[in-house]
Amino acid sequence: MIDVLKKFDMDELLNCMHCGFCLPACPTFQQTGLETYSPRGRIALMKGVAESKLPIDEEFEHNMYACLGCRACETACPAGVKYGELIETAREVVEDTKKAAGRQSFGRRIVLKRLFMHPRRMKLTGRALWALQASGLQELASKTGLVQILPREMTEMQVAVDRVASPADRKKRTRVVKAEQRAPVARKVGLFTGCIMDVMFYETNQATARLLSKAGCDVVFVDQQQCCGALHAHSGEKADAKVLAKQNIEAFEALDLDVIVNNAGGCGAALKEYHHWLKDDPVWADRARNFVAKVRDISELLTTLPLQVTKTLNARVTYQDSCHLAHGQGVRKQPRDLIRSIPGVEYIEMENADGCCGSAGIYNITNFDMSMRVLDDKMNHVADAKASIVVTANPGCLLQMKKGIIRAGLEGRMEAVHIVDLLDRLV
């Protein structure tokens, strides 16, 4: 127990002066008006636990997992409290305590361990999903109520899932996509495909490679890459997250790349934190730093490359920030610049664009009801923008926005699309 508590960075906890500046930024506080659902409250609870004034019990666990991890509070905090790190530690402490007590783990952990630790299993799931959809079973299942065997949360979310790529399509992927034209500075780019991304949004990864090739890069699909580890880190499984980080660093450094690019804000934020995760590891600290120095989000990279958007798109377009891209990586301007660079586009900034959509990793499965409350508020702003396209930069947000469009009855009037897919249609 005592060892578990040592994990908290007391200085960081004390840095919070309970000023409350973070409250208006926090989606869960906005929904509930309760301090237990606010960043200030959660930090106080962590401090209470760290000082052994509060037990690490189910209530604490609930409060730590009710946080979206969107890190909007971090952007708002004038004292510079590193909330993202604090919440990861808090969840780690919860999980460690449960393990020590031999208590049963969550569905959340089973999913993480069984699925996300094993890319092969992810691929299998992808194929199963494809088979299900291809055979029309999905439709049948929803009609007959067969989907009811899935937990309600998953059933609810699956309506937003597009058709996934077939195994035959997947086989066609070449390992290297050569540059179509030589850029002034030729770049050798490694594509971080992501685990869910590569299953559910396989085509977006292909599109990313096409775009980069048109912009003068040699793109490599790196074998041996693993899940980024973000979901594990956010779920208190830091040890697993570190294992994945090391495997990724190894896989990418073998290829001597100029840039490591990703198209998922959540994965990108994790990749850019590897040097923090591994800072105390004498063997890996330097290697992690070198790795992190090369990591870029696709929007960051594209805005530095000579990419010509040629086709015109006569549409009103708005952008939903990915929390981990905006609050985590500080990338806000580049995706907007890319959208504005499309001929014909009328760009409209929606209110509270960098407020979380409620997707937040697997939050929309684990905390379905709160996730939908946050989403419905978000959709009010989306609808107010009166755009026909809402652009996202992260697979989780994309799925959530698709779900939101259905919930808000905006189908047919509005589409949600990943920024890469949008650009791919137009170059």
> For residues 68 and 147, which CB has a smaller minimum distance to ligand SF4 in the complex?
68
44 near other proteins (CB under 8 A): yes
Asked if 22 touches ligand SF4 (CB under 6 A), the answer is yes
Per-residue burial over 167-203, b = 16 or more CB atoms within 10 Å of its CB, e = otherwise: eeebeeeeeebebeeebeeebebbbbbbbbbbbbbbb
Residue 34 contact partner, candidates ligand SF4, other proteins, none, CB within 5 to 8 A by sort of partner? other proteins
Decide: is 53 part of the binding site for other proteins (CB under 8 A).
yes
Using DSSP bridges, classify how beta strands 176-177 and 217-221 pair: parallel, antiparallel or unpaired: antiparallel
x-marked contacts with ligand SF4 along 26-65 as a string, rule CB under 6 A: xxx----------xx-xx----------------------
- How is residue 16 annotated by DSSP? -
- Say if CB 240 and CB 117 are below 8 A apart: yes
Which partner in ligand SF4, other proteins, none is near 71 (CB below 5 to 8 A by kind)? ligand SF4
Give the integer Cα–Cα distance in Å for 212 and 287: 26
The reply on whether position 60 binds other proteins by CB under 8 A is: yes
Q: Which strand ranges, in their side-by-side order, compose the sheet holding 316-319?
A: 346-347, 316-319, 389-392, 415-418
Contacts of 55 (CB under 8 A, 6+ apart): 49
* Residues constituting the chain: 427
> Which one of other proteins, ligand SF4, none is in contact with 166 (Cβ closer than 5 to 8 A by kind)?
none
Q: Which two tokens stand for residue 63?
A: 């409060």
Residue 156 C-beta: closest distance to ligand SF4, Å: 21
Nearer to ligand SF4, 116 or 363 (CB): 363
368 binds other proteins (CB under 8 A): no
Spatial separation of the C-alpha atoms in residues 416 and 391, rounded to whole Å: 6
Q: In terms of CB distance, is 18 or 413 closer to ligand SF4? A: 18
- The site partner of 233 among other proteins, ligand SF4, none (C-beta below 5 to 8 Å per kind) is none
Q: Does 77 bind other proteins (CB under 8 A)?
A: yes
Task: Report the residue from 5, 7, 9, 35 that binds other proteins according to the rule CB under 8 A.
Answer: 35
34 binds other proteins (CB under 8 A): yes
* Token pair of 1 as six digits: 């127990």
DSSP H helical ranges for 57-151: 58-65, 72-76, 83-100, 107-111, 119-134, 137-144
Which partner, other proteins, ligand SF4, none, binds residue 337 by CB below 5 to 8 Å per kind?
A: none
- What are the E-state strand segments in 87-233? 176-177, 187-192, 217-221
> Where does residue 240 rank: exposed (0-12), middle (13-18), buried (19+ CB within 10 A)?
buried
Furthest C-alpha separation in the chain:
63
Our finding on whether 63 is near other proteins (CB under 8 A) is: yes
Give the nearest distance from C-beta 258 to ligand SF4 in angstroms. 33
Closer CB to other proteins, residue 78 or residue 136? 78
Choices 14-22, 226-234, 283-291, 367-375 (CB under 8 A): range interacting with other proteins: 14-22
Residues that bind ligand SF4 (CB under 6 A): 16-22, 25-28, 39-40, 42-43, 67-73, 76-77, 79, 81, 83
Binding stretches for other proteins (CB under 8 A): 11, 14-15, 17-21, 23-24, 33-36, 38, 40-41, 44-45, 48, 53-55, 57, 59-60, 63, 77-80
